[in-house]
Chain A
């Protein structure tokens, strides 16, 4: 089972830093696991906890929210909002009977292609260790 398990990861990347970072990782031809489905959002601050929980209850094994480094936000403090939402999300993950490690908030700037690739590799490996999400069966993924 663990051999054939490929984690399904949803990554919300902000338009200004992280998505550009992911792009850079791509054009630099860096190798990283193809498990993440990147969703481009305008700011990490717009990723409502509902979106994250929706992804989980529909069978995602891990969710990643990537934004600009603190102080670099295109909208000044969107990533600070994302950070505050993180607390509520940690609580919700416990309540939804999910491991906290399945969710991660990370900062990736537009020039950090290698860091993005490394983050993806690490996170995918972490989720692989945790195994499939208990919601997979009910969500029919």
Chain B
């Protein structure tokens, strides 16, 4: 029986729901694992059940799962503790892999953020930054792999239940597991003619397609003028169906599977993709955040330098 420890950091808990979403295969998986630590499911305290310990402790486990990026010093400590106690560490979800939505905060300094949240916004009563019994924020949102080595990355917002099940099954059977290295465009069935038919459109406008007809008859959404992050996003969201999830819903890729590789830079890839079909990147508002929507960690987003 393999032991499983799970910890959540800066996250919305969508990834935990994905585990539940595995459906019937989950019953078989659960027969092979004992969950020893999982804040969302069970009452296992970090400082001992009555708070008797001075240091945070996570029980030893064969499989460790971390969801969410590192936003506080507590997360940082826990990431090291998880790494120490778990034989295999899985970073699950885009937040854990490349920062995700919380990492958009990396466009600002932590001081600026706190100023805005606790004093600057009009709907807030001004007050001090809480500093009693809350962990200190890190200077930026970090992906797990920026702090500790990670064995398996499962990107996606949320990741697909199939991917989670496949990764866990592979681990339990001692088989290798790897992610696709293709881009969403490689799995997209839409027709491409390498030339945009329109200037950039707002995303609320409706794309042209015939309902009921196969997706392969729809013109590439980017060529129709809708900003699609497909060229710079890792494939795999379609699961066994192949076709990317958002494309199936006739809407553009949001980039939730993160960059093509840890070193890839979606900004450069997107600029290339846009200009190669003749769309003007200047028209895109807030380019840095748009292109790095799910990939702000890893130094991809940072505050703009202050001019002297």
Contact = CB atoms under 8 A, between A and B. Distances in A.
Q: Main secondary structure on chain B at its contact with chain A? A: helix
B104 to A, nearest CB: 14
A31 B9 CA distance: 56
A88 B305 contact: no
Interface residues of A, number: 15
B291 interface: yes
Nearest to A92: B271
Interface residues of B, number: 17
B268 interface: yes
B78 to A, nearest CB: 23
B305 A99 contact: yes
A97 B282 contact: no
A138 B299 contact: yes
B272 interface: yes
A95 B287 CA distance: 7
Interface string A55-91: 0010000000000000000000000000000001001
B204 to A, nearest CB: 24
Nearest to B301: A97
A134 B272 contact: no
B134 interface: no
Interface string A84-113: 000010011001111100000000000000
**Residue of A49, A95, A98, A134 most packed against chain B (CB within 10 A):** A95
A42 interface: no
A98 B303 CA distance: 10
Contacts of A99: 305, 307
Contact of A98 (B265, B268, B281, B305): B305
B159 to A, nearest CB: 26
B287 A49 contact: no
B303 A96 contact: no
B288 interface: yes
B299 A49 contact: no
A49 B267 CA distance: 11
Contacts of B302: 97, 134
Given A57-B265, A97-B288, A135 B272 contact: no
Given A49-B271, A50-B268, A95 B299 contact: no
Contacts of A24: none
A54 B29 CA distance: 43
A49 B305 contact: no
A95 B291 contact: yes
Nearest to B267: A95
Contacts of B271: 49, 88, 91-92
Nearest to A96: B267
Contacts of B303: 97
Interface in A13-67: 49-50, 53, 57
B272 A50 contact: yes
Nearest to A53: B268
Interface of A: 49-50, 53, 57, 88, 91-92, 95-99, 134-135, 138
Given A53-B265, A53-B268, A96-B267, 12 more contacts: A49-B268, A50-B272, A57-B299, A88-B275, A91-B282, A91-B287, A92-B268, A97-B302, A97-B303, A97-B305, A134-B302, A134-B305
